[in-house]
Amino acid sequence: MASEEQKNIRTSKQAEKEDTPKQKKKRKEVKSERKQQGAVRRFISSRIRFIPVWLRVVLIIVLCFAAFYIGLDVGYTKLGDGEDADTVRSLDFWKDMWSYIQGE
């Protein structure tokens, strides 16, 4: 009887090694989730960019100039009571403005 009890008693190490089917299933699920997350991380870090970095920089510069141009146009004609939008685009206008700022 004592030998049967000794057989039935498990040490903590043996208990850790022998898991229930539910624990095994849960461990497999966690492992597969980690693999999927790792695959997603690798995909994100190694994906091909649709718009290259140099093209993004050029686009931002072009958009800034376009916003400046549209702002000049709207500011002069709509807000500043200017007559014609072509006036703000002419070089003579900006020469006159520069001489006005310099006090000439």
pLDDT of residue 40: 64
Decide if pLDDT at 12 tops 50: no
DSSP string, 29-94: HHHHHHHHHHHHHHHHHTPPPSS-HHHHHHHHHHHHHHHHHHHHHHIIIIIS--S-HHHHHSHHHH
pLDDT tens by residue, 65-89: 999 999 988 888 888 877 788 888 8
Half-sphere exposure of 97 (CA within 13 A, CB side): 9
User: Each residue of 43-54: pLDDT tens digit?
Assistant: 666 667 788 899
pLDDT at residue 56, as a whole number:
94
pLDDT exceeds cutoff 70 at 15: no
- Provide the residue ranges of all domains of the chain, joining segments of one domain with +: 53-102
Indicate if the pLDDT at residue 42 is higher than 90: no
Backbone angles phi, psi at 18, to 5 degrees: -100, 105
